[in-house]
Structure 1
Amino acid sequence: MQKSRFWVVGGEYTSCDCESLIQGTERVVGPFESRTEAERTWRILSEDHRPQAQVRFTIAQEPSSALSA
Structure 2
Amino acid sequence: MHKSRFWVVGGEYTSCDCETIVQGTERVVGPFENRMEAERTWRTLSEDHRPQAQVRFTIAQEPPMTLNA
User: Normalization by structure 1: what TM-score?
Assistant: 0.92
2:6/2:33 contact within 8 Å kept = yes
Aligned residue identity for 1:32:
F
2:2/2:66 contact within 8 Å kept = no
Distance between the aligned counterparts of 1:39 and 1:61, measured in 2? 12
Rate the CA distance shift 1:8–1:67 in 2: closer, same or farther, 3 A.
Answer: farther
Per the TM alignment, residue 25 of structure 1 is displaced from its structure 2 partner at its CA by: 0.2
Whichever structure has more strand as a proportion of its residues is 2
Q: What secondary structure sits across from 1:20 in the alignment?
A: coil
Per the TM alignment, residue 3 of structure 1 is displaced from its structure 2 partner at its CA by: 1.3
Rate the CA distance shift 1:17–1:65 in 2: closer, same or farther, 3 A.
Answer: same
- Name the % identity: 84
RMSD, aligned CA? 1.7
* Paired position in structure 2 for 1:11: 11
* Paired position in structure 2 for 1:2: 2
User: Normalization by structure 2: what TM-score?
Assistant: 0.92
* Paired position in structure 2 for 1:56: 56
Whichever structure has more helix as a proportion of its residues is 1
Q: What are structure 2's unaligned runs of at least 5 residues?
A: none
Aligned residues: 68
Query: Larger Cα Rg: Structure 1 or Structure 2?
Result: 2
Per the TM alignment, residue 65 of structure 1 is displaced from its structure 2 partner at its CA by: 4.0
